[in-house]
Structures are given as C-alpha cells and as structure tokens.
Amino acid sequence: MIPPYRGRFAPSPTGPLHFGSLVAAVGSYLDARAQGGEWLLRMEDVDIPRNVPGAADDILRTLTAFGFEWDGAVLYQSKRVEAYGDALARLQRSGLAYGCACSRKEIADSAIHVAIDGGLAYPGTCRNGLPAGREARAWRLHVGNERLTFVDRLQGEVVQYLERDVGDFVLRRADGLFAYQLAVVVDDAWQGINNVVRGADLLASTPRQIWLQRCLGYPLPAYAHLPVAANAAGEKLSKQTMARALCTDMVAAELLRALQFLGQAAPGDLARAPVAEVWSWARENWSFEAIPHRPLIILPV
Ligand code: GLU
C-alpha cells in the first residue's frame, strides 16, 4: 500500500517571508492538497544566531493571512536538539561520524576542490583520527566515494560525487549547534514526510541529505525542486538580495503572481478576487506538469 502523501513547508525565521518563500509554500501546499495529502509546517530555527527575533511569529501570521492551513502543530527545530544529538550519537557509534579539529583557515589552506555550493570540499584531514594534541571542534560525516544519484520530480536526474563535490560534511558545528543537513533529515523522517517540495537552491544539498538518510536507515522521500525566483543579476531572492517582504494587503495579487510563476494558467482578474476564490481556483486547476523544469527564473522588473 502506498502511504498517504505527507508534505511540508520549512521556513527559517531569518526574516519575513518574501516572494521566493511564497513560491515554495504555494508549490508544496498545492502539491500536497491536490493528492489529498497533509501539509506540515516546521520552523527551521536550529541556527540560533541567524534567527531574527519575532520573525517566526511574523511568518505564521503571514501564512495565516495568505490562507494557508497546516496540519498539526508547528514543529520548532530549536526544541529538537535531543533528537539531533541521538542521531549524531548513532552515527558516532557506527563509526560514520568523526571529530574534526580543523579551523576554517586550515581547511581553506588545504582544500583542493571547490565544493558544489561555493564553499570548500573538506579534504578529509581528520578522517582517520585527530592529529596529536588537537581536540575535536566539529563533527563530520564520512561520505562514500560513490556516485550518488536521484531523480527529482522536476529537475530530473541529479548526480553528485559527494567526496569530490562536498567532502565529509559537518553535522555539529564548532559552536555546538547542529547543522541544517542533519536537522532537516532527522525531522523529515520523524514527521513522516514522504514528499519534499522546496526551492531549487536546495538541490545541491539533497545528495547529502540522501546520504544521511541511508546512514541513519531512514526512508527516502520523493523530491521536487521548484524554480527559484531571481533578480536580473541571476541572484536568488533572499534577504541578502533585499527581496521585499510579502504584502499582506495584496494577498490575492501576491498569490496570483506565485501561481503564475509556477506556470499555472491563473486568470489575471483573480488579483482582485477574495483570497478564498484564488485558493479554490488553485485547488481545482493545479497542474504539477505545468511547473517549469528550470532551477532559476529571472523575475521581470
Ligand atoms: N529552512 C530552509 C530554508 O528556509 C528550507 C529547508 C527545506 O525545505 O528543506 O531555506
């Protein structure tokens, strides 16, 4: 029997929701609802120094104003530290996670390859034990040297050589905080998420997450990476690129824009309709097939 669809939206409270986050929320929500599935909400506040005070509540208010209805209680990653610790302990016991003493500078000096997401691929310095007299600062996961592939529902086949492209990656940082990669995998499994629909900016992280799922014996969800909205310079809309916050006075118009961005043939006069009408159009007419199979779409100015 195929388990019922369970999807999620997992914003980080690093600022207000902007158009890019709305696209991920709309895409994941409609994909779930169109398949009679559940849609859970998770606040990814594990990276405490990056959280902006009040942003989590502001995100919840915005989602409510936009008419999103999530299933169950919101899960806060900041309350899940014990579960991440348990997962790390399992990986340590099985010898897959190891302590690493390297500083950022040491890695920069010794790394040969440039990692897929712009950082440095860890060269494996501490993989076979800490150098004498050094202490573990962070915990890393051994990656296999195989070719990791998966088929994304939108972006097609993705291939990564984890060792070359990212290297042994961090599970627990030198400041003691758990890394997003570990938290997201532990929570997706714990919440029973079997469909992940999110922005294509996370496509390059997915092989790491699949590797972690394998190491922890978790089931593999299906993935669909939606196109990401970018400015004319090709930069993803984010707080860093000064994306404006969503306007809750223009909910129907913003929703319509997100639907059209996702390739849906939503009629322009919905911009002036009551929000409930936009949603009923969207639920009845949602077409996953119409979503552009592209990682990036430049927004017209
Ligand atoms: N918290 C991540 C973000 O806001 C999303 C993670 C995910 O959907 O897996 O970019």
Question: For residue range 79-108, what is the model confidence (pLDDT) as tens digits?
Answer: 999 999 999 999 999 999 999 999 988 888
> What's the whole-number average pLDDT of the chain?
94
pLDDT at 213: 98
Whether the CB-CB separation of 135 and 174 falls below 8 Å is answered with no
Q: What is the pLDDT of residue 233?
A: 84
Measuring from atom 6 of ligand 1, which residue has the nearest CA?
10
Residue 193 Cβ < 6 Å to ligand 1: no
**Amino acid occupying residue 150:** F
Compute the distance between CA of residue 165 and CA of residue 167 in angstroms, rounded to an integer: 6
Residue 240: pLDDT above 70?
no
pLDDT in tens, 14-59: 999 999 999 999 999 999 999 999 999 999 999 999 999 999 999 9
Report the C-alpha gap between 148 and 160 in whole angstroms: 5
- Per-residue pLDDT, 242: 59
Share above pLDDT 90 across residues of the chain, in percent, rounded to a whole number: 83
pLDDT, position 110: 82
**pLDDT bucket at 146, cuts 50 / 70 / 90:** confident
Q: Is there an atom of ligand 1 within 6 Å of 11 CB?
A: yes
pLDDT confidence band for 234 (50 / 70 / 90): confident
Tell which one of 28, 44, 190, 191 to mutate to probe ligand 1, the residue whose CB is within 8 A of the most ligand atoms.
Answer: 44
Under a CB-based contact definition with an 8 Å cutoff, are residues 253 and 271 in contact? Answer: yes
Listed residue (14, 8, 10, 16) closest to 59, CA to CA: 16
Looking at residue 109, what is its pLDDT? 86
Q: Is 195 in the pocket of ligand 1 (CB under 6 A)?
A: no
How far apart are the CA of 118 and the centre of ligand 1, in A?
18
- DSSP states along 254-278: HHHHHHHHTT----GGGGGS-HHHH
pLDDT at 144: 82
Measure the CA–CA gap between 121 and 232, rounded to whole angstroms. Answer: 29
- DSSP secondary-structure letter at 167? B
- How sure is the predictor about 236, in pLDDT bands with cuts at 50, 70 and 90? confident
6-78+229-298 topology per CATH: Rossmann fold (3.40.50)
Q: What is the pLDDT of residue 1?
A: 67
pLDDT at 247: 86
On the 0-12 / 13-18 / 19+ scale of CB atoms within 10 A, 54 is exposed
Residue 288 class from Cβ within 10 Å (0-12 exposed, 13-18 middle, 19+ buried)? middle
* pLDDT, position 299: 85
| 10 pocket-lining for ligand 1 (C-beta < 6 Å) | yes
Amino acid at 161: Y
Angle at 152 between CA 146 and CA 158, to 5 degrees: 35
Q: Extract the tokens encoding 122.
A: 């860890």
pTM higher than the cut 0.85: yes
Q: What are the boundaries of each domain within the chain?
A: 6-78+229-298
How far, in Å, is the centroid of ligand 1 from the Cα of 131? 35
Radius of gyration of the chain (CA): 20
Residue 105 annotated to the active site: no
pLDDT at 241 over 70: no
Q: Which residues contact 129 (CB under 8 A, 6 or more apart)?
A: none
pLDDT digits (tens, 9 = 90+) for 106-143: 888 886 677 787 778 898 999 999 999 999 999 999 99
Would you say residue 237 has pLDDT above 80?
Answer: no
pLDDT at residue 238 tops 80: no
Cβ count within 10 A of residue 301: 5
C-alpha span between 21 and 246 (Å, rounded): 9
* pLDDT, greater one: 118 or 294: 294
CA of 9 to the centre of ligand 1 (A): 8
3-state secondary structure 121-154: CECCCCCCCCCCCCCCCEEEECCCCCEEEEEECC
- In the reported structure, the alpha carbon of residue 110 is separated from the centroid of ligand 1 by a whole-number distance in angstroms of 30
Q: Nearest-5° angle of CA 230, CA 231, CA 237?
A: 55
Q: If you write DSSP's letter for every residue of 174-236 in order, what string do you get?
A: TTSPBPHHHHHHHHHHHTT--EEEEEGGGGGGHHHHHHHHHHHTPPPPEEEEEPEEE-TTSPB
Span 245-280, pLDDT tens digits: 898 899 999 999 999 999 999 999 999 999 999 999
